[in-house]
Amino acid sequence: MQYAYFGGKIVPFEQAKVSVMTHALNYGTGIFEGIRAYYNPATKQLNVLFLKEHFRRLLSNSKMMFMKIDETLEQLCDITVELLRKENYSEDVYIRPLLYKSTSKIGISLKGVEDAITIFAAPMGDYLDTTKGIRVTVSSWRRIEDNAGPARAKMTGTYVGPALAKTEAIMNGYDEALVLTEAGHVCEGSAENLFIVRDKVVYTPPVYENILEGVTRKAIIALLQDELKLTVVERPIDRTELYICDEIFLTGTGAQVSSVAEVDHRVVGNGSIGPITAQLSKLYFDAVRGNNPKYQAWLTRI
């Protein structure tokens, strides 16, 4: 990682620095994105996945925080392409745009505070194991309610909850945490949306259950419906459904499609990657690696 977009231009990475008084650092007033770029060794091509969709979510969520920046959606996409061309990566990459309250001032009000955006990109392989099922646990930490802090935005401050949940899960010997809503319904993973399969019907929590409105979630629902011709139902999911369902998988930019083999010591299905998850995973990885012409529109060439 040699460069970052910072202060309105691409600069050497070491120059992308903020003051300790920065509003976002003190109060968690940043909104970030996570975007993947996939390198196809056969074609020697790096492609960014859902570039525009991620920046669109970032800009639309920024309204909640009274944020305003000079860069437009198109410019943010172009800057990311330019940054990646300069970095010249020939491996999979994770791109992190961070829009934040940049004023150095004590006081929490969001008004009269300046905003800035930085973008950087670092190499990244699998975030969770995608080759075999992972072991997860229901966390003792709950998902934040939308009225306590925006759950549908990737707000830096509200990631304290997922950070506590993930840490607890790892320290207790699991790969990932699943969090419940305050009402006790299954919400999502610490950094992934969740799907379960029961009798060949796929269920996922709806947007009013305090989930992050995942970019991958939307694409996965389309693949399940259009390619696998399955019914996808968005409805609240009970905790005990996790223990009796046929398949569970987690989706996200980082997680991609990750199968769950075990929840709280209960084996899911027969403990290996289930048939629907396996088919979906193949479809997803073919599309993101640029091996399915039908889904070229998901990708931006670098």
Ligand X SMILES: Cc1ncc(COP(=O)(O)O)c(C=O)c1O
Instruction: Give the residue, chosen from 215, 221, 260, 273, that forms a contact with ligand X under the rule CB under 6 A.
Output: 215
Q: Does 188 bind ligand X (CB under 6 A)?
A: yes
**Nearest distance from residue 9's CB to ligand X, in Å?**
27
Active-site residue (options: 154, 229, 282, 294): 154
Residue 66 or 94: which CB sits closer to ligand X? Answer: 94
Q: Does 212 bind ligand X (CB under 6 A)?
A: yes
d(CA 258, CA 127): 9
Residue 202 or 215: which CB sits closer to ligand X? Answer: 215
Q: Does 162 bind ligand X (CB under 6 A)?
A: yes
Residue 161: closest CA among 173, 174, 175, 146? 146
d(CA 137, CA 212): 19
Q: Does 193 bind ligand X (CB under 6 A)?
A: yes
Strand partners, 32: 98
Identify the residue whose tokens are 């860069």.
71
Residue 71 or 192: which CB sits closer to ligand X? Answer: 192
Q: Does 274 bind ligand X (CB under 6 A)?
A: no
Backbone angles phi, psi at 193, to 5 degrees: -80, 160
Q: Does 217 bind ligand X (CB under 6 A)?
A: yes
d(CA 270, CA 49): 32
DSSP state of 228: S
Backbone angles phi, psi at 181, to 5 degrees: -80, 170
Give the binding range for ligand X (CB under 6 A) out of 63-71, 165-173, 188-196, 257-265. Answer: 188-196
Q: Which long-range contacts (CB under 8 A, 24 or more apart) does 265-269 make?
A: 266/242, 268/133, 268/242
Instruction: Give the residue, chosen from 191, 248, 257, 260, that forms a contact with ligand X under the rule CB under 6 A.
Output: 191
d(CA 225, CA 232): 7
Instruction: Give the residue, chosen from 16, 25, 27, 34, that forms a contact with ligand X under the rule CB under 6 A.
Output: 34
- 154 is a catalytic site residue: yes
Number of residues binding to ligand X, judged by CB under 6 A: 14
Chain residues binding ligand X by CB under 6 A are 34, 162, 188, 191-193, 212, 214-217, 252-254
